Every structure is written in C-alpha cells, then in structure tokens.
A = this chain, B = another copy of it.
C-alpha cells in the first residue's frame, strides 16, 4: 500500500487536472446542459486510464451511458457505478467560488459535482493507474458503468442495464459515493431508498384575478396548499391511503446494523443544522426513521407574485414539487396512482400530476460474503473505524442494477459529512481523496484473490 500512497502523492496534480476538466463541464441533468460533452470527456479519461474497451450506450431521449472495461490478471470482475451529471448550481450567489471550475483552498477541493460524484470517478481512475504503474497491471478485471441522469431520477438507467446485461456480469459492485462522519468513521453503505418525485400543478381560474375576488374564489395557491397540507402528519406519517401497503419490514441484520451504527439523534440534528426533528423521531427511533421510513417532502412551491413588495393578485396557477422517498418494496408508479386517488377523493380539481423520477429501493443482503470482504479491505487500507449502514436515506438506481443482476452492492468513496452535496460550496477534502485512491487500490487487490 505504501507504493500506492507514494504514487498518488506524486501524481496528485495530474489527478486534480482530470477532475478540473470534468467539473468545467456544467453537466446539469435537470437543465440538459453539457451532457454529451461530459460523456466524451469521461470516455477520454477512460481511454487514457487504459480501458481495453469503452462502449457508448444510447437510448432515445437519454444522455449516453458509458461502459468501460479494464482487463486484469484474475478472472474476478469488480463493477463500479458512477454518474457524470450534477445538481443545478442554484442559488449562485451563495457560492464563494465559481461552481464550474475546481478550486483548491485550505485542503479542500470545491466545485459542483466534486463530492457527488466526479471526485469519486477520478479517484477510481487514479487507483487503476496507481496499480498499473506500481504493480504492472490490475489484479482483477474492472468494469465501469457511468450514466448521465442520476440527479434526475436515472430514468433510462434500467434500460441501459437491460441493454448491456451480458457485459455486466461481476462478483460485486462498488457504488458511487461514501462518507466520513463527524467522528471520522468511514461509512460503507449497503442500500438506498427509492424515490417518487412528482410535480403537482393546480389551475383554478382562466386568468389571474384581482385579489378582491378572494371572497368568492379560492385560487390556485390555496387549493394547492390544502392538498399539500393533507399529505403528511406532524408525526411524519404519510396520510395517503394505501401508501404503506407494499412496505416490507427491514431484515433483522439490517435493523441490527442500524442499531449498531454510531448514529444518534444529536448527531443527526447537528448534520441537519436544526435543533428540531419531526415529533417522536428521537433516539434510536430517529435513526430507524432516517434509514427505514418513507418520506414526503415539499422541494419547491411556486405561485402568483413573489417579487418585492405587494401585488394584489389571486393566482390562476400554482405548482409544487414533491419528493417521496420509498422503502422496499414500494413501487413509484403505484405511489403516483395512490396519490392521484387520494387527491381525487379530497375533491381537488383542475390538477395535473407529473412523475419526474421513479426508482425502487434496494438493500444488499448483509450476509453476502462480499460485504465482509469489502469491510476488511477498507479497514486495512484506512485504519479507520467503519460503519456498515444497511441503507442510505438517499436514493440511487441500485435496484435497476442489483435487482436484475442479483449483485451485492456497497457504496464507498471520497465524501465526508460536511461536503455540501446538492448545495452551494460543494467540496471534498484533499486528504480524503488520497485515502480513497489507496483504499480502492487495496480493495481491487483483495477482491482479486
């Protein structure tokens, strides 16, 4: 491992130059910006890293996905999942650095997508290069599947997996990201929640009205608000009838892992930057809710006049974006159906409901030998205390991959708790980046045996 460590240190400027090239592509999937160009940049970096084959997968209406193959000495195959798209940079004025270039400052690397997850992709390529240049080649075969729609719900990822199933056989999969918590423990994450992200639009009148009509007309904003207010109780319980019908309770090992995880409500409050959690969700219940409960979150609302001062208007139209996080075995399409039935039952009229992103939850069976192997390799490489999280509270298209391929999937990478993923001043720490390269190289080595 020392030779790897030395190699990373010696070539750090080159790795950061590659990361800078990726960050400079504003690959905002939500806005359809720069996706083809970023895919080309990733392809170039794969080839420069020694890929034997890079396949550009295409499906109508989707940015390309890339499948890269790196030969190795053993016949074992480790699959890596990444994505080259990023979140929108807004609000721009809250950034202290330009979002679309790499800025190194005080031992940190800033830029949109650095933590989620262009930094991880570059750390993986750096590990391959270090192994090749210090050991003469890779100990096992490595595959990369990289998509460009993760931040908008990976709509076509399942299709890409289906189109390439025969080239995706592997003994295990390393997912996109990882985290160091405030106590510097490294988290290995064995699952994700699903998602059902919808836009609800209400149109109440033929045109905007003078607000004096408020004595007779509800208006779109009020109707929308009533609909939204009835979706969830103050205790966090979602009030849509049938919402919980498909929920499968967590397996005993998953619950045990959650209870063993050094997470508590004090730390969760700290991370969330609030002293108030949803009522009843304290102590172990907070941790279990965070990992195993579905959610209903309003991500955005927009209606009427929102500029300075006053405008006396009764808006014709109002819109909300709602994010449901799902748990096994909830199905996003079914949730949309139940939401629609619920809205109809409450008498809401003139509404449109659009599903923007739907993914199912996934949890790797913690009894799979791959789990033990990865934990051991990571512990050896980093010397860190490890935390095995049975699932993330976040989402990714793990089910699309792990479901059809029957693969164990674990996520680990370069991030830390304060990295502002999805927020202004997104960053990772330089030392974490270097550690991650060493850790990945060691994992490839252990996995090959």
Contacts and interface: CB of A to CB of B under 8 A. Distances in A.
A244 interface: no
A211 B297 contact: yes
A321 B307 CA distance: 10
Contact of A218 (B30, B278, B313): B278
Contacts of A199: 310
A226 B299 CA distance: 15
Interface in A8-54: 29-31
A225 B193 contact: no
Q: Which of A306, A312, A321, A421 has the most chain B CB atoms inside 10 A of its CB?
A: A312
A286 interface: yes
Interface stretch (A96-104, A367-375, A390-398): A390-398
A146 interface: no
A298 B217 contact: no
A415 B268 CA distance: 59
Given A212-B395, A274-B206, A300 B315 contact: yes
Interface residue range, chain A: 35 or more
A147 interface: no
A217 B299 contact: no
Given A215-B290, A278-B218, A289-B215, A306 B302 contact: yes
Given A207-B423, A298-B222, A301-B301, A212 B312 contact: no
Interface stretch (A229-237, A335-343, A432-440): A229-237
A278 B205 CA distance: 13
A1 B232 CA distance: 66
Nearest to A88: B311
A257 interface: no
Contact of A205 (B225, B273, B308, B349): B273
A64 interface: no
Contact of A293 (B215, B218, B307): B215
Contact of A277 (B152, B217, B276, B307): B217
A195 B214 CA distance: 12
A233 to B, nearest CB: 10
A214 B323 contact: yes
A216 B277 contact: yes
A228 B309 CA distance: 19
Contacts of A303: 298, 300-301
Nearest to A316: B273
Interface in A216-270: 216-219, 221-222, 225-226, 228-230, 232, 234, 236, 268
The 10 A-B pairs at the shortest CB distance, nearest first, are namely: A214-B297, A206-B273, A229-B229, A214-B295, A300-B304, A302-B306, A221-B298, A30-B309, A212-B393, A300-B305
Given A297-B314, A301-B318, 14 more contacts: A152-B309, A197-B310, A206-B274, A209-B423, A213-B393, A214-B323, A215-B289, A216-B290, A218-B278, A221-B300, A225-B225, A298-B315, A300-B304, A300-B305
Interface of A: 29-31, 87-88, 90, 151-153, 193, 195, 197, 199, 204-219, 221-222, 225-226, 228-230, 232, 234, 236, 268, 272-274, 276-278, 281, 286, 289-291, 293-315, 318-321, 323, 325, 349, 356-357, 392-395, 421-423
